[in-house]
Structure 1
């Protein structure tokens, strides 16, 4: 009976997105929607990356908007345009383009998000979708999960009692590696993670990390569109 009650409470938390589920539920969608699309649409492999990215952007974006009042760490908007965060974002962007082709990759990918494979309205729509996903959705969900929830959970299961920006070597190292190696371009990913961690420790606030992340992604988006370097995506 006790086990059944615990399971019922857990399901209730998931559907209500209470506790850490307000982070993990949207992030699960963010991570696994591509696999769901692949299973649901066999025979349309060449379109999977576009369908899954569009769905990920829309669904996760809507979830974040609906849950926005529960993310109290986002309440301080004064640091949204923090100069240190903006400079960090510029430096991260320079790392990404500066290291390209200068380090080994552990895997290879022949599938890229390239809207120019299409024509007219579809191309414009996909470029717009990529902008929204890269600049507005990804920085928010990734920073909330990595540098608000997980980095504190590593310090203590009672993560809500851990102040945002509290430093421990273990949490710094784990988040740096997880974030870094979750990216195909792992070396810029590792450097980015370390830089955003340091920004978090300096500001004791998650908002500048989102700003820096968004700035880096915005500059990369502009670079990709301007130069046609769609292999980044």
Structure 2
């Protein structure tokens, strides 16, 4: 019997919750950039009720660990830790970039995915992933925060066609258009809890869980994007 895993993600504009039970996924999702704190817990209640389960009957709680919005990532991990602590569940952090790669495979069968989330300040959160036979994803380009121009300058041609995923492609069309390897249009804009749950199930099978107090975000950048005010440096 597969693990029962609750997953949530608020790292980007998309707010989503998924509950994986016996290979069936109960999902709630909504693009709600400013309402994550209002939406996420009702979504959790809804999927649990739909599945007929209580939180303490689950095996693990997964969360989108970032990268993404600083505020969104903090909200997600804080709520996830609170739920996991109360139900005494182990936790599994999943990369939001890898989740978009998984979403691209789920949606269109893509096995080579180039993920770019708009990180503001003329940068993207970047990662390239290749699907393995066991369903896991191999990291081709390590996750980083980088300017699209620099990324394009250091890119090299290869034999694959890479499916685009994430908000960064539309935000920096011109600069990312100079990338040297072949890229094709994708359909995934945001990471989603459904894919986080599916990836977390693979990690759970390997025993890769952490205690609540050890769950941590991945920001990739230690400064928050902000606009300078008149008279401020």
The verdict on a shared fold, with TM-score over 0.5 as the criterion, is no
> TM class by shorter-chain length?
under 0.3
Rg larger for: 1
Work out which structure has the larger RCO, using CA pairs closer than 8 Å and 6 or more positions apart in sequence. 1
- Name whichever structure is richer in strand by fraction: 2
- Name whichever structure is richer in helix by fraction: 1
